[in-house]
């Protein structure tokens, strides 16, 4: 088969036509990838190769879609990409070690403000961010916050995971509710009734980087409390924090047993086995049930009976959701910086990203406004709820900045440990706040 040379006009025509179609398949994807490789401003270095470390998948079809994307990039550019998988909680420490030693994977795909732990060690990707922003309707504000350090971009926020309430409809109905309440007072009554009359709910109190951090920060902010103020001054020792911890303590008395040791996988398993009526998670639980519904009657029962809800609004009077951001960063030590930039840009091109969003079954949501139109958001009404999480979420710094200090506080589980120690009776409210305050002052000094 002869090799055809593609002109820039070919690329633009092909891209426009295929973007209009929404999703590429097989040979069409290969054709686009080959054309893209010849037109991209980021020309991989001779002999370039990449190693990428990412979190282990929660949705098999998401990983399959990502693998197909990687294969298309390699076929088009000739750059081999080795993908390594680690648990969600292990990505950050491995990235930190690599940044400190100057050796390891070229690209890391982690959580929240990971790149801000070591901004000087991240490859500047401002050119990639500018290119994608111009082409795809601009970045949502939280993506800019997570991606930029100073005036430049140190990471590309590849996606988000909407951390929402997952619940069993029949179980909350048995407790006397038709839907998840929209305020924290009524939500407490639901949790109480679930334990007394139905099947109890529960949230992670172990060091769960995604689910644990998401719910305790929601609770903190819902009561008007913050770790720091807008000037990064530590303000955790406040009446509002006391109220947040007292609420969480009372809420935890209605949890299923064992949440003190839950990591990010425990609640998925418990929910799918009908051991818990309500928890917080992405839509990966629903995706797993849906994937197995045809061969497993129990999975079909869960799929048919479950639904999703946004987090209740607390005394502060406005949403305080904390959804998981997934930034992708390249290390300055990489020997293939142009290849790394090319891969990041390629990942978020419509011809790849639209298909990947569909494969992820809405577990991955988008940071660029153009992808509001992806058909996944209207494919199933139980998935539509996570379409706008990147626009709704507060960021890791809360009122403060999302720089190294906020990243350190999150990585050290300052807030999660404070809540867990109170909910498990390891510390009083006063003592738990004192510990968190000391940790925060050390970080923010």
Enter the tokens of residue 282: 């992405």
CA distance 55 to 91: 6
From 333, 357, 380, give the residue that closes a domain.
Answer: 380
Residue 306 lies in a domain: yes
pLDDT (tens digit, 0 to 9) for every residue of the chain, 445 residues total?
A: 333 332 333 333 333 333 343 444 556 777 888 899 899 999 999 999 999 999 998 889 999 999 999 999 999 999 999 999 998 889 999 999 999 999 999 999 999 899 999 999 999 999 999 999 999 999 999 999 999 999 999 999 999 999 999 999 999 999 999 999 999 999 999 999 999 999 999 999 999 989 999 999 999 999 999 999 999 999 999 999 999 999 999 999 999 999 999 988 899 999 999 999 999 999 999 999 999 999 999 999 999 999 999 999 999 999 999 999 999 999 999 999 999 999 999 999 999 999 999 999 999 999 999 999 999 999 999 999 999 999 999 999 999 999 889 989 998 999 999 999 999 999 999 999 999 999 999 999 9
| Same domain, yes or no: 230 and 104 | no
Residue 396 lies in a domain: no
CATH number at residue 420: 3.40.190.10
| Same domain, yes or no: 348 and 266 | no
| Same domain, yes or no: 148 and 171 | no
Give the structural domain span for 81.
Answer: 8-160+324-380
Residue 1 lies in a domain: no
| Same domain, yes or no: 284 and 430 | yes
| Same domain, yes or no: 318 and 371 | no
Q: What is the pLDDT of residues 318-347, one digit of tens each?
A: 999 999 999 999 999 999 999 999 999 999
| Same domain, yes or no: 317 and 169 | yes
| Same domain, yes or no: 121 and 223 | no
Q: Indicate the pTM of the whole model.
A: 0.89
| Same domain, yes or no: 243 and 110 | no
Q: What are the angstrom distances between the C-alpha of 424 and each of 178, 252, 418? A: 30, 8, 10
Q: What is the pLDDT of residue 25?
A: 55
Residue 394 lies in a domain: no
**Chain centroid to CA 103:** 26
Q: Answer whether 260's CB lies under 8 Å from 431's CB.
A: no
Q: Answer whether 106's CB lies under 8 Å from 334's CB.
A: yes
Enter the tokens of residue 363: 């577990």
Burial of residue 434 (number of CB atoms within 10 Å: 0-12, 13-18, 19+): middle
| Same domain, yes or no: 85 and 176 | no
Q: What is the pLDDT of residue 180?
A: 98
Q: What's the number of domains the chain is made of? A: 2
Residue 202 lies in a domain: yes
| Same domain, yes or no: 305 and 429 | yes
Q: Answer whether 418's CB lies under 8 Å from 433's CB.
A: yes
Residue 25 lies in a domain: yes
Residue 388 lies in a domain: no
Residue 90 lies in a domain: yes
| Same domain, yes or no: 311 and 349 | no
Three-state secondary structure readout of 350-369: HHHHHHHHHHCCCCCECCEH
Q: What is the pLDDT of residues 206-246, one digit of tens each?
A: 999 899 999 999 999 999 999 999 999 999 999 999 999 99
Q: What is the dihedral of CA 224, 230, 231, 236, to 10 degrees?
A: 20
| Same domain, yes or no: 198 and 274 | yes
């Amino acid at each position: 088969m002869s090799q055809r040379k593609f002109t820039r006009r070919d690329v633009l025509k092909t891209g426009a036509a295929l973007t209009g179609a929404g999703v590429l398949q097989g040979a069409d994807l290969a054709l686009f990838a080959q054309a893209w490789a010849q037109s991209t401003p980021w020309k991989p270095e001779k002999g370039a190769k990449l190693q990428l470390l990412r979190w282990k998948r929660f949705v098999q079809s998401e990983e399959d879609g990502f693998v197909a994307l990687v294969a298309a990039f390699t076929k088009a550019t000739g750059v081999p990409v080795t993908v390594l998988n680690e648990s969600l909680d292990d990505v950050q420490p491995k990235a930190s070690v690599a940044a400190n030693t100057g050796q390891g994977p070229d690209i890391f795909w982690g959580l929240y403000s990971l790149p801000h732990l070591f901004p000087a060690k991240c490859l500047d990707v401002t050119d990639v961010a500018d290119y994608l922003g111009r082409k795809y309707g601009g970045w949502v504000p939280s993506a800019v916050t997570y991606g930029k350090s100073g005036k430049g971009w140190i990471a590309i926020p590849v996606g988000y995971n909407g951390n929402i309430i997952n619940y069993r409809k029949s179980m909350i109905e048995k407790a006397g509710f038709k839907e998840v309440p929209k305020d924290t007072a009524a939500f407490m009554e639901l949790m109480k009734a679930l334990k007394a009359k139905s099947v109890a709910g529960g949230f992670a109190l172990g060091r769960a980087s995604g689910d644990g951090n998401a719910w305790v920060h929601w609770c903190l902010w819902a009561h008007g409390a913050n770790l720091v103020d807008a000037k990064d001054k530590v303000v955790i020792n406040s009446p509002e924090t006391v109220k947040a911890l007292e609420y969480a303590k009372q809420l935890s008395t209605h949890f299923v047993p064992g949440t003190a040791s839950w990591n990010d996988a425990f609640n998925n398993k418990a929910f799918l086995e009908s051991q818990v009526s309500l928890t917080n998670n992405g839509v990966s639980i629903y995706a797993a049930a849906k994937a197995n519904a045809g061969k497993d009657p129990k999975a079909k029962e869960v799929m048919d009976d479950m639904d999703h809800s946004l987090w209740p609004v607390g005394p502060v009077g406005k949403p305080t959701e904390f959804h998981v951001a997934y930034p992708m960063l390249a290390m300055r030590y990489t020997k293939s910086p142009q290849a790394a930039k090319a891969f990041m840009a390629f990942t978020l091109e419509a011809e790849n990203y639209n298909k990947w969003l569909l494969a992820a079954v809405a577990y991955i949501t988008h940071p660029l406004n153009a992808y509001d139109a992806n058909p996944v958001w209207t494919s199933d009404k139980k998935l539509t709820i996570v379409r706008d999480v990147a626009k709704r979420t507060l960021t890791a710094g809360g009122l403060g900045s999302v720089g190294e200090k906020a990243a350190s506080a999150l990585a050290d589980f300052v807030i999660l440990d404070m809540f867990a120690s109170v909910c498990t009776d390891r510390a009083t409210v006063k003592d738990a706040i004192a510990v968190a305050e000391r940790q925060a002052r050390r970080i923010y000094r």
